[in-house]
Structure 1
Amino acid sequence: MEWRLRRARAGDAHALSLVAAATFLETFVGIIAGPDMVRHCSTNSSPTKFDRWIADPQCVATLAEHRDGAAPVGYTLLTPPDLPVETYERDIELRRIYTLLPARGTGLGHALMARAIDDARALGGKRILLGVLGINHVARAFYEREGFELAGMRQFQVGDTVFDDAIYARAI
């Protein structure tokens, strides 16, 4: 699969919302209850939320599109940190990094991470933080290969279920 990356702009919120919901469902099917996933995606990955993030100068959303036809196949979202660990003035949170299943193994995840690091530096960032489901060993191994180290833990609630998340950090 060939893809291209670009910074999301006004008008991209629906595409980001669609790929956000699809990748969340793909990633957590069988782990999070279906109704809870649907409610979570409707609330936390709505076009309205993405419109706000796109318009916020402290946030950067990057959209990965298939080379033929520009269908969304992945994305990242950088925001000010909202994690229960000590943060510093120039910290940035990689709130989201996801790719659709057909794009996995193509190098897209690494390209999205490299772009997120470049964008975080452009925002003046010195460290990137992220949270990941503690039992998601594939994602955790990816972050560790990308130079992230465990910085703490948190609990994250989806519906009525509380999950343990690992919080990672990487100096940039």
Structure 2
Amino acid sequence: MTWRLRCASPEDAPAVAMVAAASFLTTFAGILDGADIVAHVAKNSSADRFAAWAADAASVVTLAEHPDGAAPIGYTLLTTPDLPLSIDAGDIELRRIYTLPVAYGTGLGPALIARAFDDARAMGRTRMLLGVYGGNDRARRFYERQGFTVAGRRQYQVGATLHDDFIYARPL
């Protein structure tokens, strides 16, 4: 499968929000409480939030589209870091990277992260940070294959439950 990656505009926000909701549900169903998933997505992945990020010069939203019909199948979000670490001016956070199951095993994940590295360098950034749920071994292995190392920990609240996350860093 060959997908198309492109910088999302504010007009793409509903498509990105749809992928965000579907991918978060796919990733965390059976791990997190269903009502907590719905509330978390409504609060953190609305079309309005993605439109604001897409319009923000300090952020980059990349949308992945299926080759047949251009349906949205993945995305990344680079933005100003909001992590409990010492942050430098050269830092950027990969706040989100998700693909839908239709793209699993196609190389879309590595292509999205390579694009994020390129976009971050183009912004003059020198280090990429990200937070990942500690129990998401699949994601943690992916980030480690991409050269990320653990730089810290945090607790992240979804619904009424605090979850232990790892914070990863990678020089660019």
**Cα offset, 1:87, TM superposition:** 1.1
Residue in 1 that maps onto 2:47: 47
- Is contact 2:8-2:63 (8 Å) kept? yes
**Hey, what does 1:79 align to over in structure 2?**
79
| Counterpart in the other structure of 2:64 | 64
| C-alpha contact 2:91 2:128 (8 A) present in aligned 1 | yes
One-letter identity of the residue aligned with 1:62: T
Partner SS for 1:12: helix
Q: Helix, strand or coil for the counterpart of 2:11?
A: coil
Superimposed CA distance per residue, residues 67-98 of structure 1 (whole angstroms, 9 cap, x where no aligned partner) = 11110000000001000011111100000000
Measured in 2, the distance between the counterparts of 1:114 and 1:147 equals: 11
What amino acid is the match of 1:53?
W
* TM-score where L is the length of structure 2: 0.99
Q: Hey, which bits of structure 1, 4+ residues long, moved more than 3 A?
A: none
Q: Secondary structure at the match of 1:140?
A: helix
- What residue is the counterpart of 1:36 in the other structure? 36
Residue number in structure 2 paired with 1:14 = 14
Alignment of 1:51-130 (within 5 A): 51-130=51-130
Take 2:76 and 2:96, find their aligned partners in 1: how far apart are those partners? 5
* Structure 2: runs of 5 or more not aligned: none
CA contact (8 A) 2:10 2:52 kept: no
Superposed displacement of residue 2, structure 1: 2.7
**Is the Cα contact below 8 Å between 2:61 and 2:76 reproduced in 1?**
yes
TM-score (norm 1): 0.99
Determine the structure 2 residue equivalent to 1:156: 156
Equivalent in the alignment of 1:170: 170
The aligned counterpart of 2:142 is: 142
User: What percentage of aligned pairs have identical amino acids?
Assistant: 62
8 Å contact 2:16–2:47 — kept in the other structure? yes
Separation in 2 of the partners of 1:126 and 1:46?
Answer: 29
Distance 2:101 2:83 in 1: 27
Question: Structure 1: how far apart are the matches of 2:51 and 2:39?
Answer: 19
Is 1:3–2:13 an aligned residue pair? no
